[in-house]
Structures are given as C-alpha cells and as structure tokens.
Amino acid sequence: MSGLLTGNLWRHADFMRMWAAQAVSAFGARITREGLPLAAVLTIEATPFELSILAALAMGPGLVVGLLAGGHVDRSRRRPILIAMDIIRALVLMTVPLAAWGGFLSMPQLYVAAACVGAASVLFDIADNAYLPSLIEPRDLVEGNAKINTTGSVAEIGGPALSGVLFQLLTVPVAIAVNAATYLVSAAFLGAIRKAETPPPPSEEAVSLRQDMVLGLNAIFRDPFVRPIFVIALAEAFFGSFLAGLYVLYAIDTLGLTPAMMGVTIAVGGLGALAGAVLGPLLADRLGVGRTILLAALGYGATSALIPLAQGEPWLAMGVLMVAQFVGDGLAVAGGVIAVSLRQTVLPLAIMGRVGAAFHVGTGSLAVVGALLGGVLATSLGIRETLYIASAGLVLAPLWAMLSPLWRQHDMPAPAERAGE
C-alpha cells in the first residue's frame, strides 16, 4: 500500500486538485470554528451563554442534515454538491463582514451563519467521502485517504493559530472575508477536475427517508468487515464524548494546567494525528488491514487511560497528557485511514452516501448522549472515575471485534462493483 510520501496519486492530476480543494476547505473549516466565536466576542461582546448557543448551533444541524443527505448524495453527482456547499459557506460567511461594516452585526445573524455553515460542512463531508472512490482506483484508496487525513491533521494544528493571526493582524470583518475566500478557492479547485462523473441511474420510485436509512444500515450490518468498524465507531463516539466533554475541565481544575499549557497539549495531538496518517498504510502492510484497524482502536482506548492516571505537578501531568494526545490521536488516525478505505472498497459506490449518513447520524447521536451521561456521572462519581469508565468502554469494543472476520483479513478485499461511475 502506498502512503503519504509515495504512490500513484502524486501523478493523478484530478486527485491533486481534489486534495488541494480539501486542504483549503479544511483550513477554512477550522478558521470558521474559531472565527465566529471570535467575531462574537470582539465585535458584539457576547456573553458565555450566547457563545454556548453559538457552539450548539454550529453542531446541531449536522444531525438533521445527516439524516436527510445520504439518499440525496447517492442519487446525485457528488462533485456539484461539493462545489455548491463551498459556495454556500462562502456566501453565508460574507454576510458577517458586510453586516459588521454596516454596523448591524448581531448574535441572531451569527447564530444563523453558524447553523448554515455547520449544515453545509456536514453535507460536504458526506459527499466528499462518497466522491473519492469514483475519482481514483480502489488500489489507491488507502493512499488517498492517508493524504487527505494528513492535510486535515495539519489544518487541526495550524488552523486555530492561523485564525488567531488573521484576527490579530486584520480587523474582524476582513478576517472573516478572507475565511470566506478559502471556500471559493476550494470550489475553484473542484471545478477544475476533468474526469466526468457519471450520474447515477434515475430511480423510478419515490424513496422515503426511512428507506434510505434502513438501506444504509443494512449494508453496514450485512458486511462482515464494515459491521465491526461501525460498532467500534459507535463506542468511540459514545465513550469518547465523556473525554471530550470533561477534558478541559479536568486538565485545568483537577490537574492545574494553564490555558496556554492546555493549548500546547492539544496541539501535540495534532502532531500525533499527522504521524498516524503517515504510518497507517505502513502498519497495514506489516500487520494486515484488519489487525491494523483493531489494534489501533485498542491502543487508542488503552492510551486514553493515561488521562485519568495523570497527577502531580502541572508540568508532570501535562507531560502525561501530551503522551496520551500524541499516541492516542496517532493511533486513531492510523486506524481510521484504513477503516475508511476498507469501507470505500467493499461497499458499492451507489450506496456510499447512505452508509456515510448512517455513520454520521449514529456516531453524532451517541456523542450527544455520551456527553450528557458523562456530565451526570462526573457529578455523581467524580471526573477521574468517569474518565476511567470511558477508557474501559474504548478498550472493550475492539476486543469484541477481534472475534470477527475483520481480525483475520490481511489484504484489502476485492472491490465491490462500483455502480454509478
């Protein structure tokens, strides 16, 4: 398998255009994530409660879009959807500087902007995942996903810093306008792709939302390789949300880290993710596809136990958290690159959107439930004890999956019939 630094795709002009679009879009998404709250604070002097509403609206519409988007993506050409979502995000974001220059920027407008951009980003991600298998050959999927995950990791490291620099050097309206321009650049790269995308065959009968979701779930649970990947993804979303919801509070209040120490610790996780994108294909060559996915998930869960084990002086606790971030995020991305590539290989292209929607809705719903339950458990049992429970759950899911055929699968299976190309 080819990875980040080698492979056929360096000579694949259309993939390079898509990769460039994804890289620019990834940076734009990270800048948006930081930029809208900064605009609210610096321009409107938003309260903490208003910021919490803004954050919820940025994520909430994604679940609704996930429910609706799968069938639409499968019954449409994917590239026009990607371009449209880029343009929509650019136009919505441009309303923010225009309102700020006019002196009438308000929190309700930022709420609407956050919801629209969040929903468009989810639809972009689902269509993006479904589009890649139609653009490149099945043998190149691991390489393609490794490259895409690499730029996503770099954006996670550099995006917040770039956002801060833009808002520091430029005024809020100009910084948001620059952010909007990144999506237009992404749309231009996607528009330059030359390979024609064959539209899917027209459906003669109306298909309901329920039928779309059932079809996606049936495809997942019928496949002996995708089924355990889905179960692990659900467990990671549920128990991982314990960690996500309590991590900052635990690090600052319990361990005594400063906000600056916290930022450096999280950035180390981005470096680990970058390393994981490079190492994923290499591990799959050495260990096999199935064992790489499962051992990476097991290692991620085991490494998360370092978080509640951290104690002592803040600098010492920070060192332990940095190890957990680097190793854990690296393993999560390494396994994720192979898991996504396997899913794109064994499932037909014609249902890729509905499968992606099922993954998104399932993991997103359990993440919300897990975050709420984690808060309840932390209140009654304590934060450290709740983090131990999260680690135990993250370890158990891949242990169960080692009994499945996925554990014995060394090579990438033969690709499914790629209808719709």
What is the CB neighbour count within 10 angstroms for residue 278? Answer: 20
Write out the chain's pLDDT in tens, 421 residues: 555 556 788 889 999 999 999 888 888 877 777 678 777 877 787 776 677 677 667 766 777 787 777 787 888 888 999 999 999 999 999 998 898 888 888 889 998 998 899 889 888 988 888 888 889 888 888 888 888 878 877 776 666 666 666 766 777 778 788 888 999 999 999 999 999 887 776 654 556 777 888 888 999 999 999 999 999 999 998 998 888 778 877 888 889 888 678 767 877 887 888 889 888 989 999 999 999 999 999 999 999 999 999 998 999 999 999 999 999 999 999 999 999 999 989 998 888 888 988 898 888 788 878 877 888 888 889 889 999 999 999 999 899 899 999 999 999 887 765 444 4
DSSP 400-412: HHTTSGGGG--SP
Cα separation, 66 vs 43, in Å, equals 32
Predicted TM-score of the model (pTM): 0.76
If you search the block for the tokens 């242990």, which residue do you land on?
Answer: 399
Largest pairwise CA distance in the chain: 66
Measured CA to CA in angstroms, residue 40 lies from 36, 45, 94, 178, 403 at distances of: 6, 6, 15, 17, 50
Count, residues in the chain: 421
What amino acid is encoded at 85 in this protein?
Answer: M
Q: For residue 85, what pLDDT is reported?
A: 94
What is the CB neighbour count within 10 angstroms for residue 389? Answer: 17
What is the CB neighbour count within 10 angstroms for residue 305? Answer: 17
**Residue 69 contacts by C-beta under 8 Å, 6 or more apart in sequence?**
122, 123, 126, 127, 353, 357
Residue 325, classed as helix, strand or coil, is helix
Domains of the chain are: 1-194 (1.20.1250.20), 208-414 (1.20.1250.20)
Hey, what are 316's tokens?
């010492």
Residue 28, classed as helix, strand or coil, is helix
Q: Residue 105: which region, alpha, beta or left (left: phi > 0; alpha: psi -120 to 50)?
A: beta
The gap between the terminal CA atoms of the chain, to the nearest Å, is 23
If you search the block for the tokens 């002009």, which residue do you land on?
Answer: 13
Cα separation, 337 vs 285, in Å, equals 13
Dihedral sign for Cα atoms in the order 356, 276, 10, 160: positive
Q: For residue 369, what pLDDT is reported?
A: 81
Rounded (10°) angle between helices 352-381 and 383-401: 140
Q: For residue 234, what pLDDT is reported?
A: 95
Dihedral sign for Cα atoms in the order 122, 124, 126, 132: negative
Measured CA to CA in angstroms, residue 295 lies from 38, 175, 346 at distances of: 39, 42, 21
Q: For residue 419, what pLDDT is reported?
A: 44
Q: For residue 405, what pLDDT is reported?
A: 93
